[in-house]
Each structure stands twice: as structure tokens, then as C-alpha cells.
């Protein structure tokens, strides 16, 4: 193992005594923040409907950008020539970019996976595209994110052991190629992605080989792709102990309150999900007393805030009756207000988690949120 300089610094501040939950602090070239942390998703160089100031006001310290989408539109060279993604979108805190791998496997059509990379068709216009570890890193270097992700294969659930075995090994070879391709090793960190489906020995093999390559952090991939919740929790429980304690651990695509709490309990530090902005566009809010569907008739004359316990811009200034009216009238302002509220909800949830770990009451906090939010085991968010 090389003793290399790491762009991303992780400090382990405290471990929970009764679970694998941990409090940490990450420093990137664009700032420092405590973990567990939730990252809002800014797919197309914008966290949908919101400005930088609105994200800063609710304490958003790191957001996610999508390599695949930015590659398609406007193209990574344009973002590079603008001075990088931070400058292009007017965001000076931290940015993590995914590798495009997930979109290749979830959105794109007719993919053909070879050792060199993946040939596939654009999810909308059908144009033929090719992504490889080198191209993904080239794009992410153009974007200039603080944390890049390795280009990996994200196999569907369920996949056969034999298929996953080959896929894990190819993804490991791709991880090495990603590391070698990074032309900004002094300014952009790189995370490895542990794959292996639900199989403990494959996850172990993947984790051990990635750890040997000494990444800035590790993601646990191939989860939240339709598997039952207990499988996700079981995989997390046996995978995080395989990862070094002095590096951040990231569970990609997870953002429901219950799944965040479950994953923190099993040692995860970082989360991202489109959930808060996507459900906002469907008129759904996450509140301290559970989900609210703002279109419901019961809110027509409800002149109280969405969540009386919430201090976000939406809850301080508007009533449920007004939000319902805007939603019924299809007014964009409601998508802004609910997006602010929902992202704030998850940022306050992770803040609550951090405080609970500090005060040795994480499991009690988890139980309390489960109860107050009304999380059922099989039906989260």
C-alpha cells in the first residue's frame, strides 16, 4: 500500500458504544463538515429549483453532481471552461460527483459491457455513447468536484453469484484504472465502490482489494436497487467493518429517514438521495410527524405551518392552506418551498443523529424518530 497524500481528510470524533454509529469530520478543498451528513442532489448543476443561498441557509455543506447528466448537457468541457462545476453553478462549498455508472445501468438502454467500458444509448435521444473508467474520471476532472467516484458496474438485484463474481473483479480493475486516470490527484479525492451484491465473501473480496488501493473514502454500492430492507441492513452490517476506520463511508442513493437511521447504526457516514426534491415535486413533505401530502383536502383551510417544529423558510412564512393552493394551481413556488423544507428535514435529521451520537443516545434517538415519523419496517419514507 502506498503512503499517498489524501485530498479528503476524515477525522473520527466518536464511536457509539451500542452500535456502529460514528461521528466524524470531513475536510475537502471546499470546506469542513461533520458526519453523518446528507448531500442534496444537484443532478444538472442545480439542486432542483434552489439557489446557493437557500442551500446555505439550511446548512447544506456538500452537494452531489451527476457525471452522466452533465456529460450529456452541457458537456464537461463547457463546465471545465467555465472554471469548473463550482464556478459554473455558483456553489463554493463541497461537491461530490458520481461516476455515471449508476445512470448507465439504470437509465441507459441496450448497454454492452466490455472490459474496456460500456457502450449504451442515451436515455432520451438514443444516441450511441461510450463510458469507461478513463472517460468518467476525465469528465469528473473537468467538473473539478472535491470527491470523485470510481466508475463501477452496478448490477441489478437479484444477480447470480457467478455474474457478480465476474462483475466485482472487473469493477476492481476499473477502480485501479480510475485511480491511474486522475489528473488532479492533489485537488480531487477519489472514492472506491464496494460491490458484491448480497454475498459476504464477494463484498469482503471487493472491500479488501479496494482498501489495498488506498482510496480517500469508500462507498457501498449496489444497494437500494430494489432489495428488501433486511438485505440492505445485513450487507451494511458485514461490509462496514471491512473498511478502514479513518476513511469516510458513503451509502449511495439512500435518503429516507428510516434507511438513513438504519445505515448510520451500521457505520455509514454519508448519504445522498433525490428523494427530498423529487417528492417535493409531487407535493409531499417529510415532517416531524410523518409524511404530508399537501394536496389533501384536509389542508384547504389549515392556516398552520407544515411542521410546527421546523424552522425552515417555508415553515416560518407559509401555511399549509397556501402550499395546497400553490400545488393545486401548479405554481412553481410550491416546489421551491417543499424542496427547502424536505432538504432541511434531512439535514436536521442528520444533525439530530450527530448530536445523539455525541450524547450517547443514538439508539434512543433512532427509536424516537421511527415512532414519531411513523416509519414501518417495510415501508419507509
From the list 41-49, 177-185, 192-200, 258-266, the region that binds a second copy by CB under 8 A is 41-49
How distant, in Å, are the alpha carbons of 9, 78, 348 from that of 355?
21, 41, 10
If we measure between CA atoms, which residue out of 295, 321, 326, 289 comes closest to residue 307? 289
Asked if 89 touches a second copy (CB under 8 A), the answer is yes
Report the residue number, 296 or 368, with the smaller CB distance to a second copy: 296
Task: Please give the grid coordinates belonging to residue 27.
Answer: 475536510
Do 192 and 175 form a contact (C-beta atoms < 8 A)?
Answer: yes
* Smallest distance from a second copy to CB 284, Å: 17
Closest CA to 372 of 316, 312, 307: 307
- Residue (110 or 329) nearer to a second copy, CB: 329
Between 124 and 162, whose beta carbon lies closer to a second copy?
A: 124
Q: Are 88 and 65 in contact (CB under 8 A)?
A: no
Our finding on whether 127 is near a second copy (CB under 8 A) is no
Instruction: Give yes or no for residue 319 binding a second copy (CB under 8 A).
Output: yes
For the chain, the straight-line distance linking the first and the last C-alpha, in angstroms and rounded, comes to: 41
Half-sphere exposure of 163 (CA within 13 A, CB side): 11
Please, which residues bridge with residue 96 across strands?
A: 64, 147
Per 3-state DSSP, the chain is made up of helix, strand and coil in percentages (nearest 5) of: 40, 20, 40
Is the bond preceding 74 in cis, omega lying within 30 degrees of 0? yes
Q: In the stretch 273-312, what mask flags binding to a second copy with x, by CB under 8 A?
A: ---------------------------xx-x---------
Q: Draw the binding track, 356-375, toward a second copy (x: CB under 8 A; -: no contact).
A: --------------------
Catalytic (active-site) positions: 98, 272
Which residue shows C-alpha cell 467500458?
117
* 32 part of the interface to a second copy, by CB under 8 A: no
Options 84-92, 154-162, 215-223, 256-264: segment touching a second copy (CB under 8 A):
84-92
96 grid coordinates: 461530490
Taking CB under 8 A as the criterion, which residues in 45-74 touch a second copy?
A: 45-46, 48-52, 69, 73-74
Instruction: Give the residues lining the site for a second copy (CB under 8 A).
Output: 44-46, 48-52, 69, 73-74, 78, 81-83, 88-90, 300-301, 303, 317-319, 321-322, 324-326, 328-329, 331-333, 335-336
Amino acid at each position: 500500500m502506498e503512503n499517498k497524500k489524501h485530498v479528503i481528510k476524515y477525522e473520527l470524533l466518536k464511536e457509539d458504544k451500542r452500535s456502529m454509529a460514528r461521528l466524524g469530520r470531513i475536510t475537502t478543498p471546499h470546506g469542513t463538515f461533520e458526519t453523518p451528513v446528507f448531500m442534496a442532489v444537484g443532478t444538472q448543476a442545480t439542486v432542483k429549483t434552489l439557489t446557493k443561498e437557500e442551500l446555505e441557509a439550511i446548512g447544506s455543506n456538500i452537494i452531489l453532481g451527476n457525471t452522466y447528466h452533465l456529460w450529456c448537457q452541457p458537456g464537461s468541457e463547457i463546465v471545465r471552461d467555465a472554471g469548473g462545476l463550482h464556478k459554473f453553478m455558483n456553489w463554493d462549498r463541497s461537491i461530490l460527483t458520481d461516476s455515471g455508472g449508476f445512470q448507465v445501468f439504470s437509465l441507459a438502454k441496450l448497454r454492452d459491457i466490455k472490459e474496456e467500458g460500456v457502450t449504451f444509448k442515451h436515455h432520451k435521444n438514443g444516441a450511441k455513447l461510450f463510458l469507461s473508467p478513463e472517460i468518467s474520471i476525465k469528465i469528473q476532472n473537468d467538473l473539478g468536484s472535491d470527491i470523485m467516484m470510481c466508475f463501477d458496474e452496478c448490477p441489478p438485484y437479484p444477480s447470480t453469484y457467478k455474474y457478480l463474481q465476474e462483475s466485482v473483479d472487473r469493477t476492481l480493475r476499473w477502480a485501479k484504472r480510475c485511480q491511474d486516470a486522475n489528473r488532479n490527484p492533489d485537488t480531487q479525492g477519489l472514492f472506491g465502490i464496494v460491490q458484491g451484491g448480497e454475498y459476504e465473501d464477494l463484498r469482503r473480496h471487493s472491500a479488501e482489494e479496494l482498501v489495498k488501493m488506498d482510496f480517500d473514502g469508500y462507498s457501498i454500492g449496489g444497494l437500494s436497487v430494489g432489495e428488501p430492507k433486511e438485505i440492505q441492513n445485513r450487507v451494511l452490517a458485514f461490509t462496514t467493518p471491512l473498511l478502514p476506520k479513518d476513511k469516510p463511508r458513503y451509502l449511495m442513493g439512500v435518503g429516507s429517514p428510516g434507511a438513513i437511521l438504519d445505515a448510520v447504526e451500521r457505520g455509514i457516514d454519508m448519504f445522498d438521495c433525490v428523494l427530498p426534491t423529487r417528492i417535493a415535486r409531487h407535493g409531499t413533505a417529510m415532517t416531524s410527524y410523518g409524511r404530508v401530502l399537501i394536496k389533501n383536502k384536509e389542508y384547504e383551510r389549515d392556516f398552520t405551518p407544515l411542521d410546527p417544529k421546523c424552522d425552515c423558510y417555508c415553515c416560518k412564512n407559509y401555511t399549509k392552506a397556501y402550499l395546497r393552493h400553490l400545488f393545486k394551481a401548479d405554481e412553481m413556488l410550491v416546489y421551491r418551498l417543499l424542496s427547502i423544507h424536505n432538504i432541511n428535514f434531512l439535514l436536521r435529521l442528520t444533525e439530530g443523529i450527530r448530536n445523539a451520537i455525541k450524547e450517547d443516545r443514538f439508539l434512543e434517538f433512532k427509536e424516537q424518530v421511527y415512532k414519531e415519523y411513523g416509519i414501518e419496517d417495510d415501508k419507509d419514507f
